[in-house]
Structure 1
């Protein structure tokens, strides 16, 4: 059964849409959701429709491509080729010891030429340029085609390709995804659905981020029965040119490019200083140290994590003099973060 049919039967949730929200007001909407603890994906309908790249794409795909190439400085980009029989699905090979695509360093002009060469194919190969930093590869494009999130300086990237299906994955940063050319469908799942998405290997995944093993266009419910629960909790976002989608941190999202030429501009940012490191590292260390313990001990450590990490509040350390709080200092400053990191490194060497 196709994903759209299954969604119609299992879940009828669509992402909330806000009309007539200027780009400069989006940050305030996101901050209000965080304060109220009501964080959800949101579509800001038509919020970037006035951008020159969007307007060029509404004229024609070639106009959009020509506009993009006017900023290109000939630095090779990483592009992916997926054979037609995979129907745009960027995934593993059958043995899950490699991938079903070929990656190459190409001139962006070559990538666009290949896209247009296959634009009328009934079953084209998928040609896909993933996250490509806008200022390095297309200097000047961001001036009129990106979101200013003061005082945050997001990582802004361009994604380009034809019909493609990117498996459900999560990103630690928050994201404002601006659909500038073509149409895309995002299917989003709250973080707690991880247990129902059948996640593949953690060490080895397309794009480096672990993914759902479910084929969303042809889900095998005998092999993946809990996926029905994920679908029931899912939200869909059908994006047209000029729409901006807010993807909260840690929300799983499957992304489909629906037309022969699609361009997306993303803005990633995190809510904590970079010196605190990546939470993925903490998960990997917990896998090393805790996962193989007997269940009773795992539950004991779960209580410790809930006390010290997930459910802590300021009163928990009020009995300790401020100068003696060390790694329990809130917020953890850079000096204590560096001390903690150095201590961890030394202990892991033993």
Structure 2
């Protein structure tokens, strides 16, 4: 295990995925999983706080794909609270595999649900900006397929039990991945509509370009994958029992807000303007936001820069948020 300095040297500023082979192979949960699924689940139950968890049942016809139903009026799985011990029993029941059905527990924060995990399963993240406050979550289930999606935070995904295959795409491939609804999606994050197991190229012809730009990695027990912010990833849990521990964090201050809020507001106020006006706003966004080194206000004396101040401090961020709220209420 590299120390905090070595890990920061590997990951600091990284803007492409990195695989760290065997980084957490010595962890107790990884070692238990190498013995048997039953051993891993027994140890995991020992870490549990005893609270019910949210679990999803995927019937055989879904082939483990967590997705929408046929008319997009809902999802293709049944979800709800389940005592964790019952989930473990179902995961060990051989009739689950024989039927072709799947059970899946998505992102579940360990501090509340599995507080015992942290002491013996920690990465040295103290020197990575923001990572010491990472949200650490556990993912558990039988075979499953999670549609390609992106996350705003960086992620260190520790594969503890079973094999897990990631198909990764740089952010600019969004146009070739055909995202679905923004406001209604499995897990709350818009996902690609393409079924990676059986792509329909007549419906999604540009998906072949995404595949050409992407790549796959398969994680063995103990491997860790670093996924930078906004990288698209399709995830397949390949074994009868699969366990993943994720670490999500942002490397910018939380007071800057969520970028997705800006996207939603732009969809409201800019997306439906005439083309010439959209182009004019694109030029303003390029000048103030998207230039490699945004220069708006650089010619002003510091005392007069106001909202253009670089970097934006917390007081100015609060003032800007207040101004946005005022304008949205008009």
Range into which the TM-score falls when normalised by the shorter chain: over 0.9
Task: Establish whether residue 142 from structure 1 lines up as the match of residue 118 from structure 2.
Answer: yes
Counterparts in 2 of 1:314 and 1:196: CA distance versus 1, 3 Å: closer
2:188 maps to: 208
Q: 1:96 aligns with which of 72, 80, 84?
A: 72
2:12 maps to: 31
2:172 maps to: 192
Structure 2 unaligned blocks of 5 or more: none
Displacement of 1:317 in angstroms is 2.4
1:79 maps to: 55
Q: Contact 2:37 / 2:92 at 8 angstroms: preserved in 1?
A: no
User: 1:98-157 CA distances to partner (integer Å, 9 max, x unpaired)?
Assistant: 101111111111111111114673443110011111111111211111323115221000
Q: CA RMSD in A?
A: 1.4
Relative to the length of structure 2, the TM-score reads 0.95
2:101 maps to: 125
**Secondary structure of 1:207's aligned partner:** helix
**Secondary structure of 1:186's aligned partner:** strand
Q: Contact 2:288 / 2:295 at 8 angstroms: preserved in 1?
A: no
**Secondary structure of 1:48's aligned partner:** coil
CA distance in 2, matches of 1:280, 1:118: 42
1:164 maps to: 144
2:268 maps to: 288
**Secondary structure of 2:133's aligned partner:** coil
**Secondary structure of 2:55's aligned partner:** strand
User: 1:300-336 CA distances to partner (integer Å, 9 max, x unpaired)?
Assistant: 1111101101116375423212122111111111111
Q: 1:225 aligns with which of 205, 209, 216?
A: 205
1:110 maps to: 86
Counterparts in 2 of 1:192 and 1:96: CA distance versus 1, 3 Å: same
Length, aligned pairs only: 325
1:176 maps to: 156
User: 1:157-187 CA distances to partner (integer Å, 9 max, x unpaired)?
Assistant: 0000000000000000000000000110000
Counterparts in 2 of 1:162 and 1:153: CA distance versus 1, 3 Å: same
**Secondary structure of 1:313's aligned partner:** coil
CA distance in 2, matches of 1:85, 1:64: 28
Displacement of 1:282 in angstroms is 0.3
Relative to the length of structure 1, the TM-score reads 0.90
2:250 maps to: 270
Displacement of 1:191 in angstroms is 0.2
**Secondary structure of 2:100's aligned partner:** coil
Displacement of 1:297 in angstroms is 1.0
CA distance in 2, matches of 1:27, 1:231: 30
Task: Point out 4+ residue stretches in structure 1 off by more than 4 angstroms.
Answer: none
CA distance in 2, matches of 1:121, 1:319: 66
CA distance in 1, matches of 2:3, 2:118: 14
CA distance in 2, matches of 1:333, 1:119: 57
**Secondary structure of 2:147's aligned partner:** strand
